[in-house]
């Protein structure tokens, strides 16, 4: 496996990696400027949505069409494009999928165990804490940020991490909630609902179509290619703005005491586990390692609040974790990107 200096010199890491050789001359402070130029637009749009949501509160029903546009219209073309242009052998990297999924599962299990201790055995509460501590914002925030940082070569890794995390969480959480008694439909009906949700999730449908397009080498007509490109470009700002507004509408005055620990699980423990497992069990492309670590280092997903709303468990905690995690990730993500750019984070811990 090549080290970071060789990777940067080859030009394979673009965005934050561009100009890495000039680090020594400019000094550490000057090196932060391109990182902030990369990451601040994402947080600025979230902050803009939060400020407007606080300044001019509107009925939450007003977000329905915006959420529908993002979930069913804008983001699916983004995931289709991520996969359609990738060689199929890249998308069949099962060891990569297994290791990243295992890291997410282990983080979830640790956060759930902590939640069970904090809630004195209240399993629905513990499960929701597991989600807040392990499920990253891999849909709304991950693809545009990671691809801008690392370039198109990381698109296969981004798509695989997203699909595996969605399948894991949307399978595990409903089943655990059914076992814990929070879902009164029973195990068989819950299994049927889980399977239906996975098969009909717009992101997964788009991913399946992208894989099919890659396999059959489908040539997309120019007009359709441009349409999907426009929709893909609209997905990131729309999703980030909605995230800010949603948090603003649900944010309360105080934070539950377990919030800092859950945020630490999400922003620190999760990426550390991904990095460690990918280093221990495979000789992966450095771009893919960095992409997986960055995806794991993203703040808690808005989906944690969706789950909390669905089961009416831990609503305040979910919104607090999203708000605090998003704010803290401005610093943790910047630090992680700097480590990658400066060559201080090897892609393989055990070369």
314 is a domain residue: yes
26 is a domain residue: no
Tokens for 86?
Answer: 């990738």
271 is a domain residue: yes
How buried is 77 (Cβ within 10 angstroms: 0-12 exposed, 13-18 middle, 19+ buried)?
buried
pLDDT of 22 > 80? The answer is no
The pLDDT score that the predictor gives to residue 9 is 40
270 is a domain residue: yes
What is the count of structural domains for the chain?
Answer: 1
Nearest to 71 by CA among 172, 196, 166, 153: 166
Mean pLDDT of 257-286: 95
**What is the per-residue pLDDT across 61-71, written as a single tens digit (0 to 9) for each?**
777 788 888 88
Mean pLDDT of 330-347: 92
Integer-rounded Cα radius of gyration of the chain: 20
**What is the per-residue pLDDT across 27-37, written as a single tens digit (0 to 9) for each?**
555 677 888 88
> Rounded to an integer, what distance in angstroms lies between the CA atom of residue 20 and that of residue 31?
9
Q: Look at 269 and 242; give whichever has higher pLDDT.
A: 269
Share of residues in the chain with pLDDT > 90 (%): 39
Work out the end-to-end distance of the chain between its first and last CA atoms, rounded to an integer number of angstroms.
Answer: 7
**What is the per-residue pLDDT across 206-265, written as a single tens digit (0 to 9) for each?**
888 988 888 888 888 999 999 999 998 888 888 889 888 888 887 666 788 999 999 999
Domain that holds residue 62: 42-332
The pLDDT score that the predictor gives to residue 27 is 53
CATH number at residue 124: 1.20.1530.20
Nearest to 148 by CA among 294, 23, 4, 342: 294
Mean pLDDT of 42-56: 91
**What is the per-residue pLDDT across 288-320, written as a single tens digit (0 to 9) for each?**
999 999 999 999 988 888 888 888 888 889 889
Is 0.75 surpassed by the pTM of this model?
A: yes
Least confident of 21-25, 234-238, 331-335, 338-342: 21-25
Q: What is the mean pLDDT of the chain?
A: 84
101 is a domain residue: yes
219 is a domain residue: yes
**What is the per-residue pLDDT across 150-190, written as a single tens digit (0 to 9) for each?**
988 898 899 889 889 988 998 888 888 888 876 666 677 77
* Residues whose CB falls within 8 Å of the CB of residue 329, separated by 6 or more in sequence, listed in order: 267, 297, 298, 299
7 is a domain residue: no
pLDDT of 285 > 60? The answer is yes
10 is a domain residue: no
**What is the per-residue pLDDT across 90-123, written as a single tens digit (0 to 9) for each?**
777 899 999 999 999 999 999 999 999 999 999 9
């Amino acid at each position: 496996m090549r080290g970071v200096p060789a990777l940067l010199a080859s030009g394979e890491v673009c965005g934050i990696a561009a100009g890495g050789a000039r680090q020594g001359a400019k000094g550490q402070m000057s090196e932060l400027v391109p990182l902030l130029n990369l990451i601040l637009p994402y947080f600025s749009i979230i902050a803009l949505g939060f400020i407007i949501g606080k300044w001019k509160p509107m009925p939450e029903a007003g977000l329905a069409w915006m959420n529908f546009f993002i979930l069913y219209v804008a983001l699916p073309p983004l995931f289709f494009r991520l996969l359609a242009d990738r060689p199929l052998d890249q998308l069949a990297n099962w060891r990569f999928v297994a290791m990243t999924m295992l890291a997410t599962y282990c983080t979830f299990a640790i956060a759930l165990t902590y939640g069970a201790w904090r809630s004195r055995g209240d399993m629905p509460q513990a499960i929701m804490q597991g989600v807040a501590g392990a499920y990253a914002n891999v849909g709304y925030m991950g693809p545009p940020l990671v691809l801008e940082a690392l370039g198109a070569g990381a698109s296969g890794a981004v798509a695989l991490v997203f699909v595996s995390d969605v399948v894991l969480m949307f399978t595990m959480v409903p089943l655990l909630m059914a076992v814990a008694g929070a879902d009164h439909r029973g195990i068989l009906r819950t299994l049927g609902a889980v399977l239906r949700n996975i098969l009909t999730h717009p992101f997964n449908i788009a991913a399946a179509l992208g894989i099919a397009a890659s396999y059959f080498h489908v040539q997309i007509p120019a007009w359709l290619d441009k349409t999907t490109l426009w929709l893909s470009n609209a997905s990131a700002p729309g999703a980030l703005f909605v995230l800010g507004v949603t948090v603003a509408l649900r944010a309360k005055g105080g934070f539950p005491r377990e919030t800092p620990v859950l945020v630490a699980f999400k922003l620190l423990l999760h990426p550390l586990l991904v990095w460690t497992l990918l280093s221990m069990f495979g000789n992966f492309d450095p771009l893919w390692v960095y992409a997986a670590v960055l995806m794991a280092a993203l703040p808690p997903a808005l989906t944690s609040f969706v789950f909390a709303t669905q089961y009416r468990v831990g609503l305040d905690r979910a919104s607090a974790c999203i708000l605090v995690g998003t704010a803290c990730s401005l610093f943790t993500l910047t630090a992680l990107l700097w480590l990658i750019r400066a060559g201080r984070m090897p892609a393989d811990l055990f070369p």
